[in-house]
A and B are shown apart, each in its own frame.
Chain A
């Protein structure tokens, strides 16, 4: 069963496009069509700690940098700007850097794994991707641009983690160098592209074709030491595709997670990459995980798989049955955890005694 821990009233004047939590999950940053970014404590239902004003249009996305660089937040907006903010206390924010070299709305920002330093990737509707690198010694920013990354526009961007599989555990992995930076992007040309930095230049390493409509979100899964990488992509074609690579990332295979009832707008990996949250036009959040046989299954919480928004003023769970208690022998209520044995192990006929 899922329970609601708290509701934070952002007091934004218009819809929030993105909410991001910092590295420790303690501070929440929200960005809205009203052009502002707000900072909250994620565990208290209190008022905003700070309001960051600097954009002249809807702010699409925010991203937190690793705390070893200090408290640093990036925001991107319809006004073509990317602003990097810095704070000394959660209430006290100032602009650290402003990047204005895109010709159209900037849709997505993502900080690179901290191992690479303070590096930010930005995806824009002008079809290009910018990679901003900060020289932390002098506080100088350097920008590299990938022009024409996706025609019509780039919608989403995500970094490959810097953790390479440890050769001590797996002898097969030899050719991966953790210092190689990689990015994945998704765009209006229905493509998912993987980019690799090669001698100060970014080159297109792979072009993944499988979607038949705009790709709206891409997310590179955290690496948990397996000799492969995974990327999830979500598209308006109602598909979520899981792309899996071989050990040296030279080959990618696609696996359609599921065909949803409506366009899929966003996806999110859990910290260890074992659960994927998918949200789309059907007003549902569903959680997925890969079982030991490599199949993707919808997490079978006996109550509460999907999280849905309905105009109900009471939280209720129609499936939770109140178990009757026969004297002192308790009946554990049929409940809530996912099952590790997939349904493929146990057929339905076997299950219904």
Chain B
């Protein structure tokens, strides 16, 4: 492993440099952030006194993060669109097992490129808007992003021409390269447009001949011809001859027989050489220079190259005039020769990253290219998507095998890292899922680790996360999220919502504790929380016996409040007879029975009354005794401490009243029942 200059990011925390202090760091859960703070090691000899630095410097926690371009909102669509294309590619591969679909792969590659171009346009447009102009940070980011993605498009385009397109069409690549270089050096064409607009006056322009030469070197023939046509001297013999040469230059088209083209081209070339030798263009030295370039004269090309911007700018043009049928495998040699020549002409010139990567592509050095691609500041956007595409096309399999690179593992780790990166940057987690879904069980495990850590800012977001967890069968994640939401609703005093989430979480303990909470609160205050929720629980109540009790009690409570005492009696009796009444709720339940017992028209019959009496003597009285004993040691024993209910002031009195009511009702009921049931 190389220990070459590791770059360093510094934070300014003066405390960390004092008295042997140092720094510590912790990862922020679920994100790529790191929290940094000063650290002072405690040793066996450390003394338990305030440290020497106590109170002197501010104690600061710094939160740092690897910076990324994607904080810029304008890039958001880039991420989501590429995500779409990525998924399309994965499904394409799954559908087309075994069959080669190079046309589709080419389309995917073009789709990626058009996303970049669209994004570049958006950035360009965005940079001119006032909100970006006024925001220094955004302006800087937009500029950085434009640079990066411009370079990426340039390289991706070249990659496509050299490695994806050639399978589709002929092996001749010069005209594709010309198209590529023309797109990336549009300046000359802009100047040409100006010249065309100036018509006759153009030739008086200072840059007239320079622009023409540049156009020719970029392999353009049509535009220079149009410009020359407007020249005042066009009728002169030299111009006419030049026009003739340019017009008749054979251009290779797909489907041509190569040898036929070659002989045509040879013939044309010999003809041009002859004309040059015959001084046909001598009357116009500038025009002659152009024809020398067209003839591929090394001397003249060298003179022009001194002023070019990058080594590859005029390579495709040169190939057009010297080796128009250049094939991809020949490009490597041509590139090497060309570069040697270039470095002789421009010894002081330094290879930049983009130039280097273009060279790697042309020299078929894919491994190095990928290595360098990972160093772009696009958070691996380019390398991940390109490697994924390369992997699926299967085209470089033998190449990577030779180079001892496990392409499948590389692609897997790239997609995994990229997915994890997106997942951890809060705004993009939904996109991340798609990437992690396509990297086997590690991806699934990462989803399981990261998904529950998405902060649940709103119910809507919570539902999204739950839906994703459900689709993937992550039951624990789903249940944990519900529990968290339940806890949160509870502390926000949204008890109905808390109960709903608890039921969804299927946690019996949690549901029971919430039902207890609601029941206890009712017996203390007479208020039932969130009746709407209780009304709608229905069969879901069976998750916990306590919830069943609560729902059944609520049924009684509603009937009772509607003064439908006869109907209310039945659920009450059922509750009294059931074995699910919690001990703390007995008083409340019996108090509820009192008005029914005291009713002139008996609502409760003998058996029911007996049941109530039984509960009173068997459950409530012992409960009161127990509580009395428990609280006996406190001096301030009152009926409040023995049992709490909002309706009862004095316990003893209440028990007596209850007994009396039972007796009275028993009498009435006996009389009625002896008469037989009314028809």
Whether the pair A24, B455 counts as a contact (CB closer than 8 A) is yes
- In the complex, chain B residues whose CB is within 8 Å of the CB of A142: none
- In the complex, chain A residues whose CB is within 8 Å of the CB of B65: 2-3, 5
- In the complex, chain B residues whose CB is within 8 Å of the CB of A283: 16-17, 22-23
Instruction: Give a binary string over A309-322; 1 marks a CB under 8 Å from any B CB, 0 the rest.
Output: 11111111111100
Instruction: Give a binary string over A326-343; 1 marks a CB under 8 Å from any B CB, 0 the rest.
Output: 111111111111111111
Q: B553 interface residue, CB < 8 Å from A?
A: no
- In the complex, chain B residues whose CB is within 8 Å of the CB of A68: 480, 483-484, 487
Q: B206 interface residue, CB < 8 Å from A?
A: no
Q: How many residues of A contact B (CB 8 A)?
A: 133
Q: B51 interface residue, CB < 8 Å from A?
A: yes
Closest-by-CB residue of B relative to A341 is B371
Which of chain A's residues 127-150 have a Cβ closer than 8 Å to chain B? 136-137
Whether the pair A307, B58 counts as a contact (CB closer than 8 A) is no
Q: B67 interface residue, CB < 8 Å from A?
A: yes
Q: How far is the CA of A317 from the CA of B10 in the complex (A)?
A: 8
- In the complex, chain A residues whose CB is within 8 Å of the CB of B375: 302, 334-337, 339
13 additional A-B residue pairs with CB within 8 Å, beyond A16-B61, A323-B352, A330-B151: A20-B26, A24-B455, A40-B61, A188-B44, A307-B25, A308-B8, A315-B10, A330-B148, A331-B352, A332-B151, A333-B377, A341-B370, A353-B359
Which of B126-134, B299-307, B401-409, B624-632 is the contact stretch? B401-409
Whether the pair A292, B2 counts as a contact (CB closer than 8 A) is no
Q: B376 interface residue, CB < 8 Å from A?
A: yes
Q: B106 interface residue, CB < 8 Å from A?
A: no
Q: How far is the CA of A268 from the CA of B48 in the complex (A)?
A: 27
Select B377's contact among A274, A275, A292, A335, beta carbons within 8 Å.
Answer: A335
20 intermolecular pairs with C-beta atoms under 8 Å apart: A1-B67, A16-B61, A19-B61, A23-B30, A25-B31, A30-B37, A30-B61, A137-B512, A272-B420, A306-B6, A310-B12, A326-B309, A330-B151, A331-B352, A332-B151, A335-B377, A337-B376, A342-B1, A344-B1, A353-B351
Q: A301 interface residue, CB < 8 Å from B?
A: yes
Q: How far is the CA of A289 from the CA of B236 in the complex (A)?
A: 72
- Whether A8 touches B11, Cβ cut-off 8 Å, given contacts A226-B442, A309-B16, A346-B368, is no
Whether the pair A330, B150 counts as a contact (CB closer than 8 A) is yes
- Whether A270 touches B27, Cβ cut-off 8 Å, given contacts A15-B51, A329-B185, is yes
Whether the pair A163, B377 counts as a contact (CB closer than 8 A) is no
Q: How large is the interface on B (under 10, 10 to 19, 20 to 34, 35 or more residues)?
A: 35 or more
- Whether A338 touches B374, Cβ cut-off 8 Å, given contacts A268-B25, A297-B1, A307-B9, is yes
Q: A230 interface residue, CB < 8 Å from B?
A: no
Q: A282 interface residue, CB < 8 Å from B?
A: yes
Q: A325 interface residue, CB < 8 Å from B?
A: yes
Q: How far is the CA of A23 from the CA of B453 in the complex (A)?
A: 6
Q: B54 interface residue, CB < 8 Å from A?
A: yes
- In the complex, chain A residues whose CB is within 8 Å of the CB of B24: 18, 265-266, 279, 285
Whether the pair A348, B26 counts as a contact (CB closer than 8 A) is no
Which of A94-102, A193-201, A217-225, A238-246 is the contact stretch? A217-225
- In the complex, chain A residues whose CB is within 8 Å of the CB of B454: 24
- In the complex, chain A residues whose CB is within 8 Å of the CB of B420: 272, 274
Instruction: Give a binary string over A54-80; 1 marks a CB under 8 Å from any B CB, 0 the rest.
Output: 000110100000111111000000100
Q: Within the complex, what minimum Cβ distance (angstroms) separates B141 from chain A?
A: 11
Whether the pair B1, A308 counts as a contact (CB closer than 8 A) is no
- Whether A298 touches B185, Cβ cut-off 8 Å, given contacts A270-B27, A336-B67, A337-B374, is no
Select A309's contact among B17, B309, B404, B440, beta carbons within 8 Å.
Answer: B17
Q: B59 interface residue, CB < 8 Å from A?
A: yes
Q: How far is the CA of A190 from the CA of B374 in the complex (A)?
A: 40
Whether the pair B491, A10 counts as a contact (CB closer than 8 A) is no
Whether the pair A7, B61 counts as a contact (CB closer than 8 A) is yes
Whether the pair A307, B36 counts as a contact (CB closer than 8 A) is yes
Closest-by-CB residue of B relative to A43 is B63
Whether the pair A11, B1 counts as a contact (CB closer than 8 A) is no
Closest-by-CB residue of A relative to B381 is A337
Q: A295 interface residue, CB < 8 Å from B?
A: yes
Whether the pair A137, B509 counts as a contact (CB closer than 8 A) is yes
Select B310's contact among A1, A6, A326, beta carbons within 8 Å.
Answer: A326
- In the complex, chain B residues whose CB is within 8 Å of the CB of A295: 1
Instruction: Give a binary string over B34-72; 1 marks a CB under 8 Å from any A CB, 0 the rest.
Output: 111111111010001011011100111111111100000
Q: B210 interface residue, CB < 8 Å from A?
A: no
Which of chain B's residues 599-634 have a Cβ closer than 8 Å to chain A? none
Whether the pair A13, B30 counts as a contact (CB closer than 8 A) is no
Q: B380 interface residue, CB < 8 Å from A?
A: yes
Whether the pair A341, B147 counts as a contact (CB closer than 8 A) is no
- In the complex, chain A residues whose CB is within 8 Å of the CB of B404: 345
Q: B184 interface residue, CB < 8 Å from A?
A: yes
Q: B644 interface residue, CB < 8 Å from A?
A: no
Q: B290 interface residue, CB < 8 Å from A?
A: no
- In the complex, chain B residues whose CB is within 8 Å of the CB of A314: 12
Which 3 residue pairs across A and B have the least CB separation, nearest first?
Answer: A335-B377, A225-B445, A330-B147
Q: A46 interface residue, CB < 8 Å from B?
A: no
Which of B156-164, B262-270, B410-418, B579-587 is the contact stretch? B410-418
Whether the pair A279, B39 counts as a contact (CB closer than 8 A) is yes
- In the complex, chain B residues whose CB is within 8 Å of the CB of A275: 27
- In the complex, chain A residues whose CB is within 8 Å of the CB of B187: 327-328
- In the complex, chain A residues whose CB is within 8 Å of the CB of B16: 283, 309
Q: Within the complex, what minimum Cβ distance (angstroms) separates B142 from chain A?
A: 12
Whether the pair A12, B59 counts as a contact (CB closer than 8 A) is yes
Select the residue from A136, A265, A297 with max chain B CB neighbours within 10 A.
A265
Q: B441 interface residue, CB < 8 Å from A?
A: yes
- Whether A5 touches B351, Cβ cut-off 8 Å, given contacts A136-B509, A333-B144, is no
Closest-by-CB residue of B relative to A263 is B41
Q: Within the complex, what minimum Cβ distance (angstroms) separates B177 from chain A?
A: 16
Whether the pair B449, A5 counts as a contact (CB closer than 8 A) is no
Whether the pair B59, A16 counts as a contact (CB closer than 8 A) is yes
Q: A50 interface residue, CB < 8 Å from B?
A: no
Q: Within the complex, what minimum Cβ distance (angstroms) separates B564 from chain A?
A: 37
Q: How far is the CA of A18 from the CA of B148 in the complex (A)?
A: 39
- In the complex, chain B residues whose CB is within 8 Å of the CB of A337: 374-380
- In the complex, chain B residues whose CB is within 8 Å of the CB of A272: 420, 445-446, 449-450
Q: How far is the CA of A353 from the CA of B310 in the complex (A)?
A: 17
Q: How far is the CA of A274 from the CA of B67 in the complex (A)?
A: 18
Select B30's contact among A1, A271, A306, A344, beta carbons within 8 Å.
Answer: A271
Instruction: Give a binary string over A11-51; 1 marks a CB under 8 Å from any B CB, 0 the rest.
Output: 11111111111111110101011100000101000000000
- Whether A329 touches B30, Cβ cut-off 8 Å, given contacts A3-B65, A9-B59, is no
Q: How far is the CA of A281 from the CA of B43 in the complex (A)?
A: 13
- In the complex, chain A residues whose CB is within 8 Å of the CB of B413: 292, 340
Q: How far is the CA of A282 from the CA of B476 in the complex (A)?
A: 42
Q: B14 interface residue, CB < 8 Å from A?
A: yes
Q: A350 interface residue, CB < 8 Å from B?
A: yes
- Whether A57 touches B48, Cβ cut-off 8 Å, given contacts A279-B22, A301-B66, A315-B11, is yes
Select the residue from A263, A285, A353 with max chain B CB neighbours within 10 A.
A285
- Whether A21 touches B35, Cβ cut-off 8 Å, given contacts A3-B65, A350-B368, is yes
Q: B76 interface residue, CB < 8 Å from A?
A: no
Q: Within the complex, what minimum Cβ distance (angstroms) separates B156 from chain A?
A: 13
- In the complex, chain A residues whose CB is within 8 Å of the CB of B2: 343, 348
Q: B107 interface residue, CB < 8 Å from A?
A: no
Q: Within the complex, what minimum Cβ distance (angstroms) separates A86 from chain B?
A: 10
Q: Within the complex, what minimum Cβ distance (angstroms) separates A7 from chain B?
A: 5
Q: Within the complex, what minimum Cβ distance (angstroms) separates B663 from chain A?
A: 40
Whether the pair A340, B29 counts as a contact (CB closer than 8 A) is no
- In the complex, chain A residues whose CB is within 8 Å of the CB of B229: none
Q: B248 interface residue, CB < 8 Å from A?
A: no
- Whether A170 touches B59, Cβ cut-off 8 Å, given contacts A310-B10, A329-B184, A331-B147, is no
Q: A277 interface residue, CB < 8 Å from B?
A: yes
Q: How far is the CA of A67 from the CA of B483 in the complex (A)?
A: 8
Q: How far is the CA of A309 from the CA of B40 in the complex (A)?
A: 13
Whether the pair B448, A163 counts as a contact (CB closer than 8 A) is yes
- Whether A304 touches B66, Cβ cut-off 8 Å, given contacts A285-B23, A332-B151, is yes
Whether the pair B32, A270 counts as a contact (CB closer than 8 A) is yes
